[in-house]
Structure 1
Amino acid sequence: MRVYLPCTLPALARVVAAREFGPAPLTGYAVTPALTEWYASGDTEELEYVALTEAARASLRMLAADRADGVKVAARRVVVAADVPDEDVTAGVDLRERARVRLARAVPMEKLAAVHVDDPSAVEDVEAAVAALPAADDGDGDARFTVDGAEAHELMWYATQEIPDLIG
């Protein structure tokens, strides 16, 4: 099963150092039965894009958490695509995040398929989105609009062989 794992650039460096994405359990996003039912008209590619977008939103939250902890992190969302055995994945029933899944095991580097990262041109909008998250969570419509603005940027695709360049 293809799973999209939210990440940040510092966390990606830790994945490389550990040679696995972990520790388990992990939260990821995938094409789940709930997502398929909700988005009935979509084909597999469209459903995978929805899962990738939800993972990118989770990456934005990870950036905010790192910043709150004083970690210096570039304002670029990161999503790692991995192919994992179906039996390692459990789909949730969160109606707000229909693509959300839990992984029972850490994901070895060999199972990573690609990395999706914001282009540097998105940094300003991602910075604004990180700053607006608390107000957006409190229901502020303008803040929600700012957070959604980060999603207007498509994540760039990188092969796993390019990971050292991303974290270097």
Structure 2
Amino acid sequence: MRVYVPVTSSILQRLAEQGVLGPAPITAFAVTPGLREWYVDDDLEELEYAASSEAARACLRLLSADDEASRRRIVIAADIAEDRVEVRDELDRGVVAVQVPISLSDCASIHADDDDAEEAVDTAVRNIDAADLGDPEAEFLVDEADGFELSWYATQELSLVLEDMS
């Protein structure tokens, strides 16, 4: 099953050093029944993009707790055995709990903001809580960050991604 794991540059650095994300359970996003129902589209590619977008938004919450991290959203796409993934749609659409550590060899790709998104992401990080509580102005500021597309990187480019963020 393809899962999309929101991470910060600090977490990505640990993946580079240790070769594994963990400990489990790891919150991620995937094409779940709740996401399918909300998105109302049968195109798997579109559904996976929606799951990845949910993970990118979750990065904002992680960044609000990580002052050391680069102000960029990062999502890791990983392939995990379906029996190791627990669907948690009751928490939010597309949420899953990966019940095992995720090794670098499980990772299919890395998706990250370019440096031109940093200001919008920083603003979104400062406003994510208010947006979650329904503040329309804060939601607008968070949506500004969502307007930046994440760039795609092969896992072999992990060190380059980290270097670009330092």
Fold-level similarity (TM above 0.5): yes
Provide the alpha-carbon RMSD of the alignment.
Answer: 1.3
| TM-score (ref. length: structure 2) | 0.93
Contact 1:30 1:100 (C-alpha < 8 Å) held by counterparts: yes
Matched AA of 2:87: A
Match of 2:73 among 77, 80, 83: 77
CA distance in 2, matches of 1:139, 1:45: 29
Give the aligned partner of residue 11 of structure 1: 11
Match of 1:135 among 130, 136, 140: 130
Residues 1:39 and 1:133: Cα distance change in structure 2 (over 3 Å): closer
Q: Is 1:93 aligned to 2:89, yes or no?
A: yes
- SS where residue 41 of structure 1 aligns? coil
- SS where residue 48 of structure 2 aligns? helix
Match of 1:113 among 104, 108, 115: 108
Contact 2:88 2:96 (C-alpha < 8 Å) held by counterparts: yes
Where does 1:17-28 land on structure 2 (aligned, <5 Å)? 17-28=17-28
Question: Any idea what the Cα deviations from partners look like across 1:61-117, whole Å, max 9, x if unmatched?
Answer: 1011112xxxx221100000000101000111337x211000110011111000000
Contact 1:9 1:166 (C-alpha < 8 Å) held by counterparts: no
Deviation at 1:23, TM superposition (A): 0.8
Give the aligned partner of residue 144 of structure 2: 149
Contact 2:32 2:89 (C-alpha < 8 Å) held by counterparts: no
What stretches of structure 1 of length at least 5 have no aligned partner?
none
CA distance in 2, matches of 1:62, 1:45: 26
Matched AA of 2:113: D
Aligned residues: 163
CA distance in 1, matches of 2:77, 2:44: 15
Contact 1:10 1:167 (C-alpha < 8 Å) held by counterparts: no
- Deviant stretches of 4+, over 4 Å: none
Q: Is 1:60 aligned to 2:60, yes or no?
A: yes
| TM-score (ref. length: structure 1) | 0.92
CA distance in 2, matches of 1:33, 1:4: 16
- SS where residue 80 of structure 1 aligns? strand
Question: Percent of aligned positions with the same letter in both sequences?
Answer: 46
Matched AA of 1:3: V
Deviation at 1:45, TM superposition (A): 0.4
Residues 1:123 and 1:17: Cα distance change in structure 2 (over 3 Å): same
Q: Is 1:123 aligned to 2:118, yes or no?
A: yes
What stretches of structure 2 of length at least 5 have no aligned partner?
none
Contact 2:41 2:47 (C-alpha < 8 Å) held by counterparts: no
Matched AA of 2:144: G
Q: Is 1:163 aligned to 2:155, yes or no?
A: no
Deviation at 1:37, TM superposition (A): 2.7
Give the aligned partner of residue 35 of structure 1: 35
CA distance in 2, matches of 1:134, 1:111: 32
